[in-house]
Amino acid sequence: MPDFALASTSTDVTVNPLPVQLTSFAAARAVSGVQVAWATASEKTSAYFDVERSLDGRAFARVARVAAHGTTAQAHAYASLDATAPATQLYYRLRQVDFDGTVAYSPVVSVAATDGAPAEFTLAPNPARERLSFRTAQPTAYTVRNTLGQLVRSGTTAAGPNDLAVSELPAGVYFFELQGDAGRVVRKFVKE
C-alpha cells in the first residue's frame, strides 16, 4: 500500500465581514425620556437600525427606526430619543437590518428605573432561575408568597439596584410584594 497525503497550496480565502462594525452602544435617562446612542466603524449594505425596548429583558418591541448609511468604511454616530419610556427598569437593543433582509442584534443594555411610583416596579428576568433583579428608590420591606399565600421569604431591600436569590425556591409561581412610603405593589414571577 503506497504512502500518500492530501494537501492544498491554495491561498484562496473567503472572508465575509460583518455587515456593521458596532463600536459603542449605550442608553441613558434624559429629561425627556431615554437617549439611545451608538456608533459604527464601518457598514456594509446596512439599511436601517430598529431601536428595541423591553420591560423584562426578553420580549422586545420597536420604539424607533433610524436609517443606516448603506455601505461605508467611515465611522458614523447615531442617536434616538425614546420619549415614551416608562420610569421602570428598561432594556434596549439594536436590530440592524441589511438591504437583503439579514438581521443582526446588538448586545442588550439596561437603564435603571427612576425614583417614580412603585406601580412601575419591574422584576427581571421573569421567569427566573437563579436571581431576580429590581430597583427601589429607598429601603423597602418585601415579602415573597407562593400561590397558596404562604410566606416563603421576607426582608428589606436596599435603596438602588437589588438582587434576590431564588435558586432554592421550588419551581412554580410566586408573588413578590413591596410595601413602602410610596405604597404597595405586587408582581407575579415564575421560578423555573
The whole-number pLDDT of residue 149 equals: 80
Element (H, E) at 53: strand 33-54
The whole-number pLDDT of residue 15 equals: 37
The whole-number pLDDT of residue 184 equals: 66
The whole-number pLDDT of residue 169 equals: 95
Tens-level pLDDT at each residue, the chain (192 residues): 444 433 334 444 333 345 788 888 888 887 678 889 998 989 999 999 999 999 988 899 999 999 999 999 998 989 999 988 887 888 999 999 999 999 999 988 888 776 544 445 678 898 999 999 888 777 888 999 888 888 999 999 888 888 999 999 999 989 888 876 555 677 889 999
The whole-number pLDDT of residue 151 equals: 92
Task: Cell numbers for 115, please give them.
Answer: 425614583
Q: Which among 58, 67, 71, 74 has a CA at the least distance from the CA of 96?
A: 67
The whole-number pLDDT of residue 161 equals: 87
State the distance between the two ends of the chain, measured CA to CA, in whole angstroms.
60
The whole-number pLDDT of residue 116 equals: 47
Element (H, E) at 147: none
Spell out the domain ranges in the chain. Answer: 20-111, 118-191
Residues 54, 108: Cα–Cα separation, whole Å: 10
118-191 and 20-111 share a CATH fold: yes
Q: Which residues of 68-100 are buried (b: 16+ CB within 10 A; e: fewer)?
A: beeeeeeebebebbbeebbbbbbbbbbbbbbee
For the domain spanning 118-191, the CATH number is 2.60.40.3080
Q: Is the domain covering 20-111 a CATH 2.60.40.10 domain?
A: yes
